[in-house]
Amino acid sequence: MKEKVLVTRSSMPQLEEYIEEISDIWETHWLTNMGSKHKKLQEELREYLGIENIELLTNGHMALELSMQAMNLKGEVITTPFTFASTTHAIVRNGLTPVFCDINPIDFTIDTSKIEALITDKTCAIIPVHVYGNICNVEEIERIAKKYGLKVIYDAAHTFGVRYKNNCIGSYGDASCFSFHATKVFNTIEGGAVCYKDLDFGKALYRLKNFGIKDQETVDGVGANAKMNEFCAAMGLCNLKHIDEEINKRKQVVERYRSHLLGVEGIQLNPIQKDVTPNYSYFPIIINEKVFGSTRNEVFERLASEGIVARKYFYPLTNTFDCFHGQFDSSLTPIALHISKRVLTLPLYADLNLECVDNICKIILSMKNNKILD
Ligand code: T4K
């Protein structure tokens, strides 16, 4: 049977490289709780990203949850529903109320022209998402946040290595939360990090990731456990050595997709953003069925029948999730609703064969003008 092509595949170092990196753990028996690999990875990331403050955590979700907690946020938070469950769940799990702002139809990030109308006297923060590695309008968000005295926490789960005007994307806002999950451009198996400016916030975050423990006899916060362990940090140290090469390989894949799909009527591609150094983390396409002649779901099914497992990231919108029992009205975010019904994220990873990309595009293009819809 032909091997399936999945939406992504984790990047891994050579086995020998990882074994070498973890071998001293068998001498030290130091497995977790901010050990030497944790410290080394933190240092190396600081240098690689060109950022002053970074805290490592167990995953991107805890990065979000604990960042909100460390800021002691209360009330309403403006965010978008076109994202992974994590963003909205982190808000709700902090006892905060998400107020959903629509996205813009070009890069699918928060539509900054619609933020101010959603601000009330209960609004405490804006939590925008750099979705697919596309960066939000950070300058406009900063202007609004300053004007209304709001905190800004970016969900930067997709944006490892992305730079804007040559600055690390993590240097914008009060905090930026990265995911180092297995499916991400840079992975530590499971992992995450927060880049931040305020040192007091950093101290609070550090405590929260370690049960609120200040020292062996003082616990001054009700913390969680979100410490990155040494095996995850070791994976990060190995993967970081190859990250530029990995991103470059992803670039080749993206360029191959674009060479086939750019300009095809009824297919919208992810934009190339001005002044942005991208990381090529996802390859979403938006299928306008009326022009293309097949729906997103038909293309999804057809690819699946050929063993190609694309994904509908991000469908359904988080404001339609069953767990919220109809609490939110997705018709108030019409662009997000429209895009979520038409988006398909195609397979993308560093070692994806370029002939495979040709084949995926051939299948998609064979579905053009399948039928004319009214
Ligand atoms: N904010 C945003 C905007 C996010 O997208 C995410 C995570 C977060 C916050 C939270 O960050 P973390 O707490 O996860 O660090 C996947 C990932 O699990 C999730 O990290 C990611 N976003 C989301 C967009 O995608 P699923 O449920 O689609 O994963 P799954 O298991 O279906 O895997 C997708 C494909 O990845 C598989 O078909 C094959 C490949 N894969 C998967 C795993 C688990 C591998 O190659 N290796 C693996 O180990 O959520």
Dist. CA 193 → ligand 1 center (Å):
16
Ligand 1 binding pocket includes 223 (Cβ within 6 Å)? no
Which pTM was predicted? 0.97
Dist. CA 146 → ligand 1 center (Å):
33
CATH architecture of the domain with residue range 15-241: 3-Layer(aba) Sandwich (3.40)
**CB within 8 A of 56, min separation 6: which ones?**
38, 41, 42, 45, 191, 192, 193, 228, 233
* Residue 122 and residue 76 in contact, taking contact as beta carbons nearer than 8 Å: yes
Separation CA 177–CA 192 (nearest Å): 7
Determine phi and psi for 239, rounding to 5 degrees.
Answer: -65, -30
* Residue 348 and residue 253 in contact, taking contact as beta carbons nearer than 8 Å: yes
Determine phi and psi for 236, rounding to 5 degrees.
Answer: -65, -40
Calculate helix-pair angle for 243-261, 354-366, nearest 10 degrees.
30
pLDDT attached to residue 122: 98
Each residue of 173-185: pLDDT tens digit? 999 999 999 999 9
C-alpha dihedral sign at 150, 156, 161, 163? negative
Listed residue (67, 47, 52, 59) closest to 237, CA to CA: 47
Q: Which atom of ligand 1 is nearest to the CA of 190?
A: 15
Q: Domain residues of the chain, as ranges?
A: 15-241, 243-370
Calculate helix-pair angle for 296-305, 354-366, nearest 10 degrees.
130
Question: How many Å from the N-terminal Cα to the C-terminal Cα in the chain?
Answer: 39
Ligand 1 binding pocket includes 183 (Cβ within 6 Å)? yes
Dist. CA 219 → ligand 1 center (Å):
34
pLDDT attached to residue 374: 47
Q: Could you list the mean pLDDT of each consecutive 10-residue stretch along the chain, which spans 374 residues?
A: 91 98 98 98 98 98 98 98 98 98 98 98 98 98 98 98 98 98 98 98 97 94 97 98 98 98 98 98 98 97 98 98 97 98 98 97 94 51
Separation CA 146–CA 126 (nearest Å): 11
pLDDT attached to residue 1: 65
Q: What type of residue is 161? A: G
Ligand 1 binding pocket includes 320 (Cβ within 6 Å)? no
- Considering only CA atoms, which residue is closest to atom 33 of ligand 1? 183
Mutate to test the pocket of ligand 1, among 91, 180, 183 (most ligand atoms within 8 A of CB): 183
Specify burial of residue 248 (Cβ count, 10 A radius: 0-12, 13-18, 19+).
exposed
Please tell us whether the domain made up of 243-370 is placed in CATH 1.10.3470.10. no
Number of Cβ within a 10 Å radius of residue 120 = 9
pLDDT attached to residue 370: 73
List, in sequence order, every residue forming a beta bridge with 179; answer none if it has no partner.
192
Ligand 1 binding pocket includes 187 (Cβ within 6 Å)? no
Determine phi and psi for 281, rounding to 5 degrees.
Answer: -80, -35
Determine phi and psi for 251, rounding to 5 degrees.
Answer: -60, -45
pLDDT attached to residue 84: 98
Ligand 1 binding pocket includes 171 (Cβ within 6 Å)? no
pLDDT attached to residue 369: 87
Specify burial of residue 362 (Cβ count, 10 A radius: 0-12, 13-18, 19+).
exposed
- Considering only CA atoms, which residue is closest to atom 42 of ligand 1? 183
